[in-house]
Structure 1
């Protein structure tokens, strides 16, 4: 069953998110960990010729993700793991690349989640991300703050007013690339420990 959130996001996906996924996820290489795989939209954007293995995590595995993995030509390189980003079940320094796309808006403890990513990422590894953020423009910020309580209820806990850049920096990541994918709301980039 398609959720309200999924239906709402279709427009953004068509207009620019698909292109952003293609650009950012093409940089994933080596042992890759994807946080919050959702329905598996990212699967189509990976370049498996430079990926040794891909583990996709989520706290609640979606049947659409399972079906996409089963039909994927590189399914032998892909595993699904039901776990929370705040409590990742992997050893330290396990991954060359960690990815999250539109995930940290729903994470309960952002700092704990980012510390876990930092723990499992190799010292020379890369964190690739796409998130929506609290808008820079004051009028939009006011609107987002006003609708956020209702939006959280109808969108499975999605927060409209988080600042991923500050959260990454406060948790010891250095941001190498950071770009606005729209004028105000979506960003993408790359960070290192």
Structure 2
């Protein structure tokens, strides 16, 4: 992933958390590459993979790490001021269920911030993504290259307040609020 970071992923990760404050839930922390501004009072970071959580624990002192699935979050309603997910929803088995859980744990007025690679709006590239996804999915923990994330977010009861397309429209940065 280091070369992808050089191509802009590191900057995108920084933008994803810029200006956040309060209590944050990070979904799919992986190896713990995100770094939050001082205005964030606490971070709970979850992942379903215990090995990734172990690696994250070495990078993330002061962050509460938990093994949990976004499709069944172990938190009360309205627990978080923001939820952050970076390159996660491509692997979630039932993204609508995961987004519904995020909506449930966000406090009123809270934000969902997503950074996801998405289905290309260009038909030729989208067809290529469709062809590559079955093989890629087996190699990359179930990752779906062709997932159309923006309509999923909107259909899950969120209004997108900020949207930026990156890397030739293959990556979306989204900020959304529950409606």
- 1:152-191 equivalent positions in 2, closer than 5 A: 152-191=137-176
DSSP-derived class of the 1:88 partner = coil
- 1:79-158 equivalent positions in 2, closer than 5 A: 79-158=64-143
1:39 equivalent in alignment to 2:51: no
Report the RMSD for the aligned CA atoms in angstroms: 0.9
CA positional deviation for 1:139: 0.8
Which runs of 4 or more aligned residues in structure 1 lie more than 2 Å from their structure 2 counterparts after TM superposition? Answer: none
Partner Cα distance (1:58, 1:95) in 2: 17
Q: Name 2:45's counterpart in structure 1.
A: 56
Which consecutive unaligned segments of at least 5 residues does structure 1 have? 1-8
Partner Cα distance (2:28, 2:20) in 1: 16
Aligned match for 1:29, one of 18, 21, 38: 21
CA positional deviation for 1:60: 1.2
DSSP-derived class of the 1:85 partner = coil
CA positional deviation for 1:66: 1.1
TM-score by length of 2: 0.95
Higher helix share: 1
- 1:17-42 CA-to-partner distances (Å, cap 9, x unmatched) read 11011112112210000000001111
Which consecutive unaligned segments of at least 5 residues does structure 2 have? none
Q: Name 1:18's counterpart in structure 2.
A: 10
CA positional deviation for 1:12: 1.6
Larger displacement relative to structure 2 (24-33 or 126-135): 24-33
Partner Cα distance (1:85, 1:105) in 2: 13
Partner Cα distance (2:113, 2:158) in 1: 12
DSSP-derived class of the 2:160 partner = strand
Partner Cα distance (1:184, 1:144) in 2: 13
Residue-pair matches, total: 176
